[in-house]
Structure 1
Amino acid sequence: MSLVKRFTGAVAFSLVAAFSTLQAEEVTIKQGDITLRGELTLADGKTAKDGVILMQHGTLAHNKMEIMQSLSELLKEKGYNTLNVNLSYAVDQRPSEMLDCTIEHKHKHEDAVAELDTWMNWLKEQGAGKVAILGHSRGGNQVTWYAAEKDSELLEKVIAIAPATADADKSSKEYEERYKKPLADIMAEATKLASEGKGAEIMTLPGFVYCENAKAAADSVVSYYKDDERKNTPSLLPKITKPTLIVMGSADEVVDDLPAKLEGIKQDNLKTETIDGADHFFMDLNADELADKVATFVDWK
């Protein structure tokens, strides 16, 4: 294993040559007090100058979950480089595993947008010639949010795979059904604490995102549960100027309202694809078809 350390301004990062079957390198980069982790996979004979697909996983997940690893492997075979990042959730050097629900949750939905920007800047420093960003599920929403509000001169294309939708009334109903307490009461308390400058105060909750009997900062509760149209991916699309691809699964029951929400959106830079029989995670042969659609859309060869 070789370790290369390099410092550029206030940003420190390290490349750890820990080669897997994907010939992937562990990559770390500092953002404030948190060290972010990612996995850089270069296709045979390719360098960052040939372009990199920056990949973001879904809710409370990680960069080694099956859909993300499968895509990295399949895209490598097709000649594409990937940077598969592991969202920190405000945890230093967070491991590549599902987030521990017992932690005090201090992360926010929009943290991913800032982390994507940090990775984009890192790729620029590495000499990347161009970048496509790809996200799955909530990560699909977060990459479109990035493209709509941050963007970059390096960013060429945007790919959202089964991206998250949002409906405040539906979320409130589902929360109460699952956790047996009105979300409105929790939000009232969290919003009050945040408005009083006590957003870091930890609340004890019947549930937070997918975690039961959780502890979360008031600011985190507000971030994940406030009514914000930017969490609804179709609402972001008119603000994106780069070519954008949305891939859906015909058997997806997680974002089953996505096709209907996309029906009224017509813009020249938007393409939508549906994989017949695929659920939310595009397993097995669906993964091959997904990789084909991504590679065809990116089209850097």
Structure 2
Amino acid sequence: MSIMNRILLLALFFFFAAMSPTMAMADGKNVQFVHQGLQLNANLTMASGKSLKDGAVLITHGTLAHNGMQIIAAMQKELAGHGLNSLAISLGYGLSNRTGMYECQTPHRHIYTDALDEIGVWVAWLKTQGVSKLALMGHSRGGAQTAWFAAERFDPIISKVVLLAPMVWSESAMKEQYRNRFGKELSEPLAKARKMKPAEMMTAGFLACPDAQVSAGSFLSYYASEPRFDTPALLASIKAPVLVIAADNDQLIKGLPERVKPLADGKKVSLTVISDADHFFNNFAAEDAAEAAAKFLKD
């Protein structure tokens, strides 16, 4: 075979590979949107042969994470395989064009409910793209924020809600977790933050970050007592059917199945517990979770 023929065959190979639906589903398309002066990013993954008029799933990640983390990427890939389009967003956390994990050394000025605002922005964007049927999905804290959005900022195009290992909350548990993680009482930085102006910066243990530079307003938004942090308490207020997917070996969100089971009637609220799964649904657990989500969304 001549060199020119080899070059031609290679060119044809890469052309058809680029056109392959499987590759398109795996890679997705980066979408950007400017909100309050910040460039927000999202990954749009289309199922083969589908358009946005066929609907979409809007996915929100967990604490200080991003839309490329394994659980989110696995969900998008598996959902596409089941014929479902998805848009996985990266929360801005007050930064423009944010990618990757939020680094602890970066000052924190973001507010807990910023996530609800950004979910709303992307819901509105999807509507402009022709989406008339939308499911919401969120993982971990992103699941809790998704539930809060669905409970209080519901849009009629939202048909169903899927919550992956969403956060549960109680004031006593939050205090205990803070003490165990940072070796001090939560009451100390809370009292300090309450005496400061919201934009003033302080040094404190914050989320996963020891000795973080965090604004008083940001700290209070995550640590002041707020019953709406508790996902199970929001489920009754969500107008669309909800599926809660729990991991049976979740070491971060404990007690979720026990909290949700009494609420699960199989109609308004459903519960699925994935065996041999940790909080991030690693390995085959992500496929099992995605299959459960896809079945719920397509029923």
**TM-based fold match above 0.5:** yes
Q: Which residue of 1 aligns with 2:257?
A: 259
> Does the Cα contact within 8 Å between 1:75 and 1:295 map onto a contact in 2?
yes
Question: How far apart are 1:20 and its partner, in Å?
Answer: 6.0
SS in 1 for 2:98: coil
In structure 2, C-alpha distance between the alignment counterparts of 1:285 and 1:186, rounded to whole Å: 41
In structure 2, how many angstroms separate the alpha carbons of the residues matched to 1:60 and 1:249?
20
Q: Report if aligned partners of 1:25, 1:41 keep a CA contact under 8 Å in 2.
A: yes
User: Does the residue aligned with 2:41 lie in a helix, a strand or coil?
Assistant: strand
The size of the alignment, in residue pairs, is: 276
Q: Distance in 2 between matches of 1:174 and 1:50?
A: 43
Distance in structure 1 (CA, Å) of the matches to 2:203 and 2:51: 48
* CA distance, structure 1, for counterparts of residue 183 and residue 58 of structure 2: 39
Q: Deviation of residue 173 (structure 1)?
A: 2.1
Q: 1:124-151: CA deviations, max 9, x gaps?
A: 0011121100000111101111100001
Structure 1 stretches of at least 4 aligned residues deviating more than 4 Å after TM superposition = none
Alpha-carbon distance in structure 2 between the residues aligned to 1:176 and 1:81? 42
Deviation at 1:287, TM superposition (A): 1.4
Does 1:125 find its partner at 2:98? no
CA contact 1:165–1:233 (8 Å) conserved in 2 = yes
1:181–1:23: structure 2 CA closer, same or farther, 3 Å change rule? closer
Taking the TM superposition and a 5 Å limit, the aligned residue runs for 1:229-240 are 229-240=227-238
Which of residues 38, 41, 51 in structure 1 aligns to 2:42? 38
1:24 is the counterpart of 2:23: no
Please give the TM-score of this superposition, normalised by the length of structure 2: 0.89
Question: Which structure 1 residue ranges, 5 or more long, are not aligned?
Answer: 1-18
Residue number in structure 2 paired with 1:5: none
Bigger share in helix = 2
- Once the two structures are superposed, residues 168-222 of structure 1 have per-residue CA deviations (whole angstroms, 9 ceiling, x without a partner) of 11221221233232210110111222xxxx10101111x1100011000000000
Q: Name 1:54's counterpart in structure 2.
A: 58
The farther-off stretch of 266-275 and 42-51 is 266-275
Greater share of residues in strand: 1
In structure 2, the partner of 1:13 is none
For 1:243 and 1:21, how far apart are their aligned partners in 2? 27
Instruction: State how far apart, in whole Å, the 2-side matches of 1:23 and 1:221 are.
Output: 36
Larger radius of gyration: 2
Partners of 1:164 and 1:255 within 8 A in 2 = yes
TM-score of the two chains, using structure 1 as the length reference: 0.88
Q: Does 1:174 align with 2:172?
A: no
After TM superposition, give the deviation of residue 265 of structure 1 in Å: 2.3
Deviations 1:4-24 (A, max 9, x none): xxxxxxxxxxxxxxx866241
Task: Give unpaired runs (5+ residues) of structure 2.
Answer: 1-22
After TM superposition, give the deviation of residue 284 of structure 1 in Å.
Answer: 1.8
**Cα RMSD (Å) of the superposition?**
1.4
Report what 2:296 is aligned to.
297
